[in-house]
Structure 1
């Protein structure tokens, strides 16, 4: 995860809708069991353009962000 152990953990995904097939839920569950101080899920989806935080998707203190080019 991070160069400094226990500091940053993250997962990424790309999907038409990040809720499809439980992809977002699976990444949140995976990170929930980790002990990093800062935990994030980053996703790219045409339904969520821009670089924006999505608190309504967050669980277990893990931040969820959309990313775009």
Structure 2
């Protein structure tokens, strides 16, 4: 009777240990996308707008830039 309790407790402890180790070993990976132009070319205003999630390409068009 006593060994049955010890065996049951040991099984519960081993299952809990397995679950804890499984959760701890999980990892996440974050991928960062580099949205630079290939080989130094300028990006068209429409593409720059899409990459930044804006609604208008006016801010990216060279003729629409304000001089400081």
Question: Which of the two has greater helix per residue?
Answer: 2
Q: Quick check: TM above 0.5?
A: no
Higher relative contact order (CA 8 A, sep 6+): 1
Question: Which of the two has greater strand per residue?
Answer: 1
**Under TM normalisation by the shorter chain, which class is it?**
under 0.3
- Specify the structure having the higher radius of gyration (Cα): 2
